[in-house]
Chain A
Amino acid sequence: MEELIPIIKKALEQVDVVLGWAQSPAAGVAVPAFFHTPAEADAAVFDSTCAHNLAVYLPRLADKKVGIVAKGCDARSIAQLIAEGAVKRSGVFVIGASCPGMIDVKKAWRCFGFGKQVCDAAGKVAMEGKTVAREEILLWKCRGCRDPEPVICDVTVGEASSEAPAPPAEPAGIRKRFAAMTVAERRQFWQDQFSRCIRCYACREACPLCVCRDVCTIQAHEPGWAGAAVDSPQSWMAQLIRVNHLAGRCTGCEECERACPVGIPLMLLLEEQNDVVEELFGYRAGGEAKPPFLTFDIKNDTWDEER
């Protein structure tokens, strides 16, 4: 996406830094990059490996005027941060990038070997020698993407997709297996999953809405919600705290699951919670409205006691 570079350079006239992606020399994929000068911006890329949600950097840059390249899903996170007051709308300049869907780099590496160039600049998956159906290595959130176009943006780059949004993806793989489990099987499932957790907090650090950072409840000594011991029940409780604190706030960007080094399917919890919140409150995070647990008006409460 060549036209991105001049747009970033132009944005730098009015912002302190632009968050985007540059090619990683090590792995042949894009990694997040901070562009402070027009010269640095020459390295900007946008391809199918730009999966990172750069909105995660916004709250810590709240004292600066920040430009940010955002896909549709990233824009939802930005909108949510603004709705919650963690980021000022006037403090961000959103460069909305039309997104072709991002690939799961780990899956691509499994197919093609580590470090190969796994995609081309146009966003098409182009592998040397081998071909694999694009759908097979897309990130889960990109299958049946509901928001290919950014909900907020100041300037757009790339052709807006003319295709209608894909229908919701049928549960497959682990989602299908999880849905078929009994409650008791799920209890065992989570116990097994969280016995792998190393408590690195990558899930929290990668999450754009986990804005508390160093004052996180999970690590509080008093009252000690979750012990520091790395064992399954404590790690499980730690994750439940994170999930609970994201109720009505998670935009489903999947960054926690993508960041998890031991492959715990965290989105099973968050997708379920997002569905329940939508069902109960008709609310989907990532718009202009404040989250349901941040707002309550006793005079206009429409709760049905018999629900």
Chain B
Amino acid sequence: MPGKDVKIVGFLCNWCAYAGADMAGMARMEQPAGMRIIRVPCSGRVDPLLVLKAFQEGADGVLVSGCHPGDCHYGSGNYLARRRLELLGRMLPALGIEPERFHYTWVSASEGARWAEIVNTFTEAIKDVDEGS
């Protein structure tokens, strides 16, 4: 649907990606408005079921973002997350969800510009999928 607002649910780690998104906002970087951010204590908190639930409730895309590998506030949360999320991402085509609608990535607290770029690219990818189908 052209012109439709893309609804994205973002699960962001409190210690890095959330602060990174905050920084992007403070710096007045342009970002799509369709992002709904849910702050989580750690990307390791993100149960794959949270992602699936978001899709089931009507999200157009789900973005999970945590600290870079090695930088987890709790030591290993992001290592646990990527194992689960990689499995989930590879399952999506069989579930009838385009893999472009899901992305997990690492953003540190100082990477505001990177965050803005990730959100923009992700939103564009979802728009492409929506228009293609």
Q: Which of A186, A244, A296 contacts B93 (CB 8 A)?
A: A186
B75-92: which have CB < 8 Å to A? Answer: 75-76, 79-80, 82-84, 86-88, 90-92
A233 and B97 CA atoms in complex are apart in Å by 14
Shortest distance from the beta carbon of A296 to any chain B beta carbon, whole Å: 6
B1-50: which have CB < 8 Å to A? Answer: 48-49
Q: Which of B83, B87, B95 contacts A240 (CB 8 A)?
A: B95
Name B's interface SS.
helix
**A163 interface residue per 8 A CB criterion:** no
Interface size class of B (residues with CB under 8 A): 20 to 34
Q: Which of B49, B83, B98 contacts A183 (CB 8 A)?
A: B98
Total of A-B residue pairs, C-beta within 8 Å: 74
B40-82: which have CB < 8 Å to A? Answer: 48-49, 52-53, 56, 69, 75-76, 79-80, 82
Contacts of A187 in B (CB 8 A): 95-97
Q: Which of A233, A236, A244, A268 contacts B49 (CB 8 A)?
A: A244
Name A's interface SS.
helix
A236 and B57 CA atoms in complex are apart in Å by 12
Interface string of B92-133 (1 = CB under 8 A from A): 111111100000000000000000000000000000000001
Contacts of B48 in A (CB 8 A): 244
A272 and B96 CA atoms in complex are apart in Å by 13
Contacts of B95 in A (CB 8 A): 186-187, 190, 240, 269
* B86 and A307 form a contact (CB under 8 A): yes
The listed residue with most B CB atoms (<10 A of its CB), out of A190, A240, A277, is A240
* A303 and B82 form a contact (CB under 8 A): yes
A244 and B49 CA atoms in complex are apart in Å by 7
A273 and B56 CA atoms in complex are apart in Å by 19
Interface string of A274-307 (1 = CB under 8 A from B): 0011011100000000001100101001010101
* A303 and B83 form a contact (CB under 8 A): yes
Interface string of A70-96 (1 = CB under 8 A from B): 000000000000000000000000000
> What are 23 A-B interface contacts by the 8 Å CB criterion?
A183-B92, A183-B93, A186-B94, A186-B96, A188-B96, A190-B96, A225-B53, A233-B56, A236-B56, A237-B56, A240-B52, A240-B95, A244-B48, A244-B49, A247-B84, A272-B91, A280-B83, A280-B87, A281-B83, A293-B84, A296-B79, A298-B75, A303-B83
Interface residues of B (CB under 8 A from A): 48-49, 52-53, 56, 69, 75-76, 79-80, 82-84, 86-88, 90-98, 133
- The 3 closest A-B CB pairs, nearest first, are A187-B96, A186-B96, A272-B94
Q: A190-B95, A240-B95 are in contact. List 13 more A-B contacts (CB 8 A).
A: A184-B133, A186-B95, A187-B97, A225-B53, A237-B53, A244-B88, A247-B84, A268-B94, A272-B94, A280-B87, A296-B79, A301-B79, A303-B82
